[in-house]
Structure 1
Amino acid sequence: MADGNQTEVYVYEQVVILLSCVLSFLGSLVIICTYATWRDLRTTPRKLLVFLSVADLLSALSYFYGVLKVFNSNTKDCIAQGAISTFANTSSFFWTVAIAIYLYIFIVKSSQRLADSLVLYFHLISWGVPLSITVAALALQKIGYDASEVSVGWCWVSIQEEDHVLWMLLTGKIWEFLAYVTLPVLYILIKRHIHKAHEALSEYRPILATSPTSQSLSTMADRKLTLIPIIFIALRMWSTIRFLLMLANSPARQNPVLVTLHGIGNTFQGAANCVMFVLCTRPVRSRLVALLCCRGRETQSSSDALSQHTVHTNTDRANSPRAWEKEGEEED
């Protein structure tokens, strides 16, 4: 399975993870395009989601290249790919937490002004901190080939560095651990506030409590708030497990199933966000379906019109004297 401290990456693992990268790239692109297309959907939370999608898109591209290449040495493109994925992956952690903080202040503290005032700080932290860490790691030559011990073919922190564990923490793992704690706490607080508000409102307006539409929207919002931290942890936990197994020097870190789950978890975030915030969000989903159907009908109409035009043109040409004369010349 593995030779020494190097984890072998099988072809089927590459195929599965490359597919995950493609889905994440497309999912992130859909989120960005829907935000750019419909102005009335440009709320601040969705704007923050777009910034998260930019990080996920960049992450998917860098991981795709790394998995496709399966590096085995500290080449220049290995270091470049490792730097891009380090920056994008860390930035994704920060933006995920930033969205949770924004929603907490907006919903629980009922202060949109305060929440909006934090957006600038979100940019400074979510782009600035990952960039600073990545530049420092590059300057100190810490990024490079890691023998797929805590990756799946791509490059990250060089496994040959004596302080590689410290730099793995600084360039990703410590922020991942903080996200594990922060996200569930914030979303639990948000859910509790929504439930209390809904119960208080239902006491004064019983008709709202029994309204199917109200219950449906409440259930959908409650489900989405529950799924956000669960999906994040479900995707990222495999990377954390392999990291802990590496610290324990356990050969289980090289298990093919665990390696595959690690690869999918690190690369599927953009696709998961698309499912939650586009496909499972009725206003966005309805508009997207309508847009695709409309374009499909327009394409079909254009195709039919072109076909009819071609038939009429060919018929006219066939009946014209010049056409017959040309055919006669070719027969001669």
Structure 2
Amino acid sequence: MKPANYSCFLGDESNCTNILLVKRILASLSIAGSFAMIFLIWLFKKYQFFAQRLLLYLSIACLINSITFLMADSVEPSPKCTFEAVMITISVWAILLWVILITFNLYWSAVAKKSTERFEIYYHLIGWGIPVVISVIPFSSNKYGPAGVWCWIENDPAWRFAIWYGPRFLIIFVLFLVYFYIFKYVRKQTSMWTGCHERERELMRENVKPLMAYPLVYLLLSIFPLVNRIQNTVQPDNASFTLYLLQIVSSSLKGAGNAIVFSMDKETFKHLNLADLRNAWSHRCSKSVVREYSTD
């Protein structure tokens, strides 16, 4: 029989309160950042380009994750707690898989000089289908429940590493190697190109450069969660508030980090002014009016 009240895994309720506060603030920033990305991709019709659609899907995954992080505060078993746990599992896996798919597309676009747009439907099956399947597995042993200051897999290191941390850190290691290879290859190729390589430059501009920074953002924001989980494994009875706080900061900033990178893209940045935003919005609204009139 489980106790009715689940105390914070850090043993100090003030630590829990501080972590929840930081989580909510940063999750709110990531919600705003993810929504801004989705809105701008729609407003400027960037979704017409496959690379931008990949960013759209990643932004949706980050938005779901940030909303879940914002609402996740259950500390007792309940249907709400289980729902939060399932949504955390789905969203963290969706983010990771869309980063993998973006890296896969980067490799084929930059190295093989081929577009993977024809596989877009399979991207969706992987990016959304696999997370849903994985989220069902913990139900087989009733492992969802309070996990500190929110709900996820209860305090069972084996299950946590099997469902998330083990595959994640292995994938991150492989992603780092692939990303480093792509980065070196792109730098070498662009330094060798001359005026007769205009087609390659265009492919690079549309499909490679807009995506290069996003796997790096994910890799950088995965450092502190990795360090914290290593510390948990080595010293399971000596949790570090500082490492947990850094993990929460890193985990909650994915949407905001992606939004910052998105806004720094040259093609996006030059349109982030009041005149261009007004023109784009006016064009969008006028198109909607024409469609409604034609339908009537």
For the superposition of Structure 1 and Structure 2, which TM-score range results when normalised by the shorter chain? 0.7 to 0.9
Q: For structure 1, which runs of at least 5 residues remain unmatched after alignment? A: 209-213, 299-332
Tell me the distance in 2 between the aligned counterparts of 1:131 and 1:271.
24
What's the offset of the Cα at 1:15?
2.2
Q: For residues 76 and 239 of structure 1, do their structure 2 counterparts lie closer, same or farther at Cα, with a shift above 3 Å needed? A: same
What's the offset of the Cα at 1:56?
0.9
Q: For residues 7 and 50 of structure 1, do their structure 2 counterparts lie closer, same or farther at Cα, with a shift above 3 Å needed? A: farther
When the two chains are superposed, the root-mean-square deviation of aligned CA atoms in Å is 2.9
Tell me the distance in 1 between the aligned counterparts of 2:44 and 2:278.
16
Amino acid at match of 1:274: A
Q: For residues 5 and 61 of structure 1, do their structure 2 counterparts lie closer, same or farther at Cα, with a shift above 3 Å needed? A: closer
Identity of aligned residues (%): 18
Q: For residues 39 and 293 of structure 1, do their structure 2 counterparts lie closer, same or farther at Cα, with a shift above 3 Å needed? A: closer
Tell me the distance in 1 between the aligned counterparts of 2:223 and 2:233.
15
Q: For residues 15 and 121 of structure 1, do their structure 2 counterparts lie closer, same or farther at Cα, with a shift above 3 Å needed? A: same
The one of 261, 264, 284 aligned to 2:249: 264
What's the offset of the Cα at 1:16?
2.0
Q: Residue 158 of structure 1 aligns with which residue?
A: 154
Cα deviation 1:158-192 (Å, max 9, x = unaligned) = 12xxxx33321233213321332232222222222
| Native 8 Å contact 1:35 1:46 kept in 2 | yes
Amino acid at match of 1:231: V
Tell me the distance in 1 between the aligned counterparts of 2:78 and 2:11.
18
The one of 272, 278, 288 aligned to 1:288: 272
Amino acid at match of 1:128: G
Q: For residues 257 and 40 of structure 1, do their structure 2 counterparts lie closer, same or farther at Cα, with a shift above 3 Å needed? A: closer
Tell which deviates more after alignment, 192-201 or 284-293.
284-293
Correspondence list, 1:104-183, <5 A: 104-112=107-115, 115-146=116-147, 148=148, 153-159=149-155, 164-183=156-175
Amino acid at match of 1:233: L
Q: For residues 44 and 251 of structure 1, do their structure 2 counterparts lie closer, same or farther at Cα, with a shift above 3 Å needed? A: same
The one of 208, 233, 242 aligned to 1:247: 233
Q: Is 2:17 aligned against 1:25?
A: no
Amino acid at match of 1:271: A
| Native 8 Å contact 2:221 2:250 kept in 1 | yes
Number of positions where the alignment pairs a residue of Structure 1 with one of Structure 2: 265
| Native 8 Å contact 2:75 2:150 kept in 1 | no
What's the offset of the Cα at 1:23?
0.8
Q: TM-score, normalised on structure 2?
A: 0.79
What's the offset of the Cα at 1:193?
2.2
Q: For residues 174 and 96 of structure 1, do their structure 2 counterparts lie closer, same or farther at Cα, with a shift above 3 Å needed? A: same
Q: For residues 186 and 119 of structure 1, do their structure 2 counterparts lie closer, same or farther at Cα, with a shift above 3 Å needed? A: farther
Q: TM-score, normalised on structure 1?
A: 0.71
Amino acid at match of 1:273: N
| Native 8 Å contact 1:143 1:156 kept in 2 | yes
Tell me the distance in 2 between the aligned counterparts of 1:38 and 1:222.
18
Tell me the distance in 2 between the aligned counterparts of 1:107 and 1:5.
45
Q: For residues 17 and 46 of structure 1, do their structure 2 counterparts lie closer, same or farther at Cα, with a shift above 3 Å needed? A: same
Pair member with larger Rg: 1
